[in-house]
Structure 1
Amino acid sequence: MIIKRTSSIKSVAVYCSRSLSTAKQLKIQGPAIGAFQLIGDPLLTEHYAKVRVADNNPGLVQRALDAGAFGIVAPMIINAEDAKLLVINSRYPPMGVRSWGPSRALANPDTTQANLLVKVFAMIETQEAVDNINEILDVDGLDGVFVGPCDLSISLGVLPKATPTEPHVVDAIEKVKNGCQSRGKLGLLFCGDQTRAKEALREGWSLTFPGADLSWITSTLSNITDIKVGGPRPIKSNVG
């Protein structure tokens, strides 16, 4: 689920948005062959997927885009050099070095349009990244950043929390948001729940993620299997 900031803050997209700014996110960290099948053909589904690749690897970035992703989220970006590498591998020449791939990306053969449509986000998860946030955000072609509060909390010396409360962690996250707002770039924030996600939208974040797909699946399965039958429990027999 991804919540987009709107005037009424009631626009909620659940993995099926028809807007590039509220696209579904797929976290690709395991074997990519099967995982990329989750990316629907946008011409058929009208869905625009953002893919979170395992790391800032040119092969992984370009493969995700060739599979049909309209957005890339790369983790552990710590400086402007990392951000530049991410950007050039997400754009066709002359803006980058993305190669041509025979896949769903062929649905849009206009490379100039593809360069405009694809959104590129750097994950901010370390103290070093926060220290370098201005230089990262100034990289041309980077559309915004995505703050991962758990890894950032660890980097700042506290236990991982989806919704940090430690003042120095809160200040670091605020610094990132202010940097995005001053440059007109998108600020994405992972949150612990829907309440915090809505608060973050009011604070000025562009997109918020109220939880992770695994927790949603686990919670749903728990509710489905939690079947309570009325009446007394059967008496256990000690015979046999």
Structure 2
Amino acid sequence: MKVLIIEDEAPAARRLQLLLKDVDSSLEIIATTDSIISSVQWLNTNPAPDLIFMDIQLADGLSFEIFSRTTIQAPVIFTTAYDEYSLQAFKANGIDYLLKPVEISALAESIQKLNTLKEQFTRQTERKNLESLLKTLRPEQPTYKSRFLVKIGDRLIFIPSTEIAYFMAEEKIVLIITMDNKKYIADHSLDELEPMMNPKDFFRLNRQFLAHIQSIKNINQYFNGKLKLTLQPSPVQEVLVSRERASTFKRWLDV
């Protein structure tokens, strides 16, 4: 772990370095700065450290000023001889707040706290990455409409999608035609209904019909590459599938 120390008192900086080595010999002190100006300059010209120890009261002002002059991308453990700045410290990347003179036990607890937070963050990140991967490999199944609420006089009833033979556009309304040839007014256009219905069961035959596969009783070749269908219940008008839609329709039937 690479550590930056921001401390304007040289003896305090040296003592902190010795304590850190005692707590964790793998810690690497990569730099020590002693003012707001030198700290901002260092942070702007070097890769972000893994951890910053920051004295609050520096020779040229409070170290909180550093946060307004540059972007700090590392967790911060604040050190100070006074406890009046604790709230500000925790608002500014602070994971802990140590009073001077820093005790080795308190320092060890701060490092342990940092390691625990990093482990938790890593696990959360790994879990999110795994969840994202699972969604990619196993995308969520779309939800299709299973029933429709329709009004008959003063009554409301629901029609299961499994009982619908087809939807038929007639002038400015769309009718729901059930397998037993009952008719209800739908509250949606065919364009709105098409993505609502399970494409394994329903197919948009043309501008007028969105039909359930069970309603298709006969298919005949028609002139110009079109297909002529017989639906049950039988509508008054002819039901044609255009030449452009015919191949897609055949593939849908053959799944």
Report the TM-score, using the length of structure 2 for normalisation: 0.26
Structure with larger RCO (C-alpha < 8 A, sep 6+): 1
More strand as a share of residues: 2
More helix as a share of residues: 1
Report the TM-score, using the length of structure 1 for normalisation: 0.27
Computing the radius of gyration from Cα coordinates, the structure with the larger value is: 2
